[in-house]
Structure 1
Amino acid sequence: MIEFQMPSLGADMEAGTLIEWRKKPGDAVKRGDIIAEVETQKGLIEIEVFDEGIIGELLIKEGTKVPVGTVMALINPTETTLETRKETISEKPTVKIQPTEEKIVEKATAEKFEERHIKVSPLAKRIATENNIDLSQIQGTGEDGSITKDDVEKAISQKAKIEKKEEKSLPKNLAIRSAIAAAMSKSNTDIPHYYLEKRIDITKALAWLREANSKRPIQKRLLPAALLIKAVAKSLIDFPELNAIWDNEVQIKKEINIGFVVSLRGGGVIIPAIHKASEKSIDEIMEALNDMIPRARAMKLRSSDLSDSTITITSLGEGGADVVFGVIYPPQVAIIGFGGSSQQPFAENGMLGIRTVFTVTLAGDHRATDGLIGSDFLVTLNKQLQNPEAL
């Protein structure tokens, strides 16, 4: 039996509210299928399943706030057939509980009352009482119209959805700001940062981009961000200590999953991840950016988009501040910042000229790495950007 748990979608996430199950018991699932929708401070997230099998049991009711790591559903592996499961269940004796009759006074008009006799099982009655559910408003689906446990649970779910819509919650950008505040407070409290910066000439890289884009249709053109992500991913191959997380000790990750900061129109940021960035071409990275950025700004990300980042990139784009010093997003151990580019005097091989340059910064966790490793990484990143065709 596979236990499907509430995933962690970042260090700032402690719990999520289950809004809707997208699968039901008996449904077959495979890796990548959407099993549920969960509301977090980052918006409504589609939660994916990463195992293959048959849904056995859904343990959490819709509308419930669920802590990270809580088992939400049980999945029978593909080796377990439905017939075997039915045989196992049939071995247990079943006891049929007869519904009791409840007498409910129901208001028909402002002046007139009438009595209505309905049948309800003891379990259904208890669940309804605990959740303040009016039995007179439920149409029973059991024998002779009796109200069953499933009828009551359906009413609870509908009530939760209505309350959710009516709830006067904080605007979404304020909720995201709150999540950012929690993560950054933890970062500044727990992580001993060190900072490095390097000025890099990107004239060759931008020239290569212009030439490459001149041969492409508009919808296939590359943005500088795709080139930067690829250069960072390729550089990290030589510096695995920066592609890691800290959990009482440094844990180096095999996959290079680069999180990139996306600014939201209403304020705040969100950080989806490009998985296995070192294995992707620049075109594949660009496709991933074109897919995820609109979904991030529409708050329609999936759980896989927000999980497993091993390092983060933040960029202010052209016309922004010259230098950006990032704050490490725990449990990661580094963040790379790209400042705005501008034309500046730049000396090379004893010659002074005007070049397009920007400043790259690295904030590192001193528990996991030191300034020498960080400095060597920035030197390697510079070499990658001086040879864009090799990327």
Structure 2
Amino acid sequence: MDSRLDATRASYDTVADDYAELLRTELADKPFDRAMLGAFAEKVKDGGGGPVADLGCGPGRVTAYLDGLGLDAYGIDLSPGMVAVARRGHPELRFEVGSMTALDVADGALAGALAWYSTVHTPMEELPVLFGEFHRVLAPGGHLLLACKVGDERVHLNHAYGHDLDLDVHRFPPERVAGLLRAAGLVEIARLVREADARENTPQAFVLARRPPGWRKAAGAPPMSTRATRHLVYAPRYAAAQDEDVDWGLFDLVGVDYYGFFRHRDAYVRDLARYTRFGKPVAVMEFGCCTFAGAPERGGMGWDVVDYAKEPPEIKAGIVRSERAQAAYLTDVLSVFESMGLYSAMAYTFVTPDAPHRPRDPRHDLDTASYSLVKAVEDRRPGAPEAAGWHGEPKESFHALARQYARHCR
């Protein structure tokens, strides 16, 4: 993802001045586009108003249009060159450099967000990251307007706006966009698809969505759609293994036991995209790893480091206990789930009493092969009752997850 962002940034830095001049009066000839911007502005004002961010604002022409409609609008763009042009052209408005993948905007701070063709350089499988960010920064009841090119393919631009470029442009089916927004907790309230005009190659789509009011986001879990919430209590649920092929049309949400491991964050996003593509809330029913160095790489088979042929069972040679490795994996993947706007994620598991932690006997420290957040510690004294002398102690993973969840409770 970083290389793609770098190429996008460099391309728009290169074309900033010519792009701004070419598109300066574009909205004047597009009544349907203006109508959707007007509807978006009315919805934001009907909700009480507040800050509106034009995400991927370019030279600021649409930011200024929203300002003219009475919105408290400002712009954010990946390209410093574009931001410089926007500041020169609209000195009365605020423009900042930033990325939609990690917005420097507080949770729930925006009454509205505009993504006016700014997602077209993002592959479909990475849209959940952006939509999760949009959900995060919108206040309950806040609105999002997204514009995109209609299709289902990627077009590479080597030359545009009078300059050599290295830029991918993605076209999206509007129903897929609406489904991914719904999976991120943003409910579609209107959609417009118009034919291409004389200067365009494809139809254009506009999706107006809303973050439902009155629902608060728990850590890593944006609210699901109104439809799913209304029926979930009565609907069957299923937690699929990662290699299962499931007909998710039978369910209101997609459930998966996820024990994947990748060294780079964007690889997780691509892997999880196979679940978000159904346009339904995605619930991670289990995720976790055992408590030793290298456990994340073993995923759901981490427990297989115990030699049960021995009496008593013992940890196999070469396994080194590491609570830090477990904690790092859990927080890393939870942050990915959160950034993608997944509906929920449940760490496996709280405690495993039949895998006791024996700090003075590493060979028989069965908690090393446990996925639990709490270790069952054996500290019996001679002559004590069988049930006495056991207690639970939080592992590093317990504290790490607690800190991550606490950020959403302040």
User: What is the TM-score of this pair, normalised by structure 1?
Assistant: 0.22
| Greater RCO, CA 8 A, separation 6+ | 1
Whichever of the two has the greater Rg, that structure is 1
Larger strand proportion of the pair: 1
User: What is the TM-score of this pair, normalised by structure 2?
Assistant: 0.22
